[in-house]
Structure 1
Amino acid sequence: MAERRKVREEEIILAKHLISLGGLDPQSYQLEEMVDDYENAVMGSINFTPPEKAEYEGDIVRVIYKDIDDLPVIITLTKNVNNEILDMDFWKKDFSKLQRYPTPETVAIFDQDMI
């Protein structure tokens, strides 16, 4: 993983929205101020949890977003075994760079028939 960096406001907004979409209370989750980028920040995936607390427990919610190039991006918010936000994982259909960061109004609950 790359060097940790300060979480961006747009990432906090999206993560809190995804927590809500997952049926949970965003106020119950403290998001880390420092995060790691995955894949050299190409697709937007970030890790909220320090390595010593990174044991995956499960997905909270999976949503879909259409980037401005009209390619689908699947975003999965996960939690660790301590019920803390683990990561927000982006997967763009062609693995290309994310062109515009999603906002709450641009994501929808993922349904397998959407791609």
Structure 2
Amino acid sequence: MNVRKATANEEMLLAYLISKASVTISEDWKINLLVASMDDGKMGSLSLYPEGIVSENHQFGGQISEYLFLDEDDVIVLASLYVDEKGRLFELDMWKTDYSPLSKLPF
């Protein structure tokens, strides 16, 4: 697993999804956020590790927001943001409807 800081575009997408979320996420969510690319055929999904803590002990809690956009090749992409069982950021799931690699994030 290659853990890293989120790119500026990834942070912008996460910020947008958090702004639309059905729950409140702390305003300092990105200060120590680490991410790891998921094995999803290069569609852009990320495991999220808030507070700089890389742990596999947290479990899926639920979806808090989603966003549909078109990739550069006009294929629909669904970005879904999930939290863990304690309400902390858990995963950014990206699903490109034709399963091809993502060309560009929307921001």
Same fold, TM-score > 0.5, yes or no: yes
Q: Can you list the C-alpha shifts for 1:7-37, whole angstroms capped at 9, x where unaligned?
A: 1121111111101112444544623432110
Q: Alignment partner of 2:105: what SS?
A: coil
Equivalence for 2:93: 89
Match of 1:65 among 56, 60, 69: 69
Q: Counterpart of 1:10 in 2: which secondary structure?
A: helix
Q: Which runs of 5+ in 1 are unaligned?
A: 104-115
Q: Which runs of 5+ in 2 are unaligned?
A: none
1:111 alignment partner in structure 2: none
Q: TM-score under structure 2 normalisation? A: 0.82
Q: Report the more deviating stretch, 26-35 or 70-79.
A: 26-35
Q: 1:52: how far off?
A: 3.1
Alpha-carbon distance in structure 1 between the residues aligned to 2:36 and 2:6: 9
Q: Give yes or no for contact 1:7–1:34 (8 Å, CA) kept in 2.
A: yes
TM-score between the two structures when normalised by the length of structure 1: 0.77
Identity of aligned residues (%): 25
Q: Secondary structure at the match of 2:81?
A: strand
Please provide the CA RMSD for this pair. 2.0
Kept in 1, the 8 Å contact 2:41–2:100? The answer is no
Looking at secondary structure, tell me which structure has more helix per residue.
1
Q: Deviations over 1:30-81 (max 9, x none)?
A: 2343211012671111111333343010000121110010000011000001
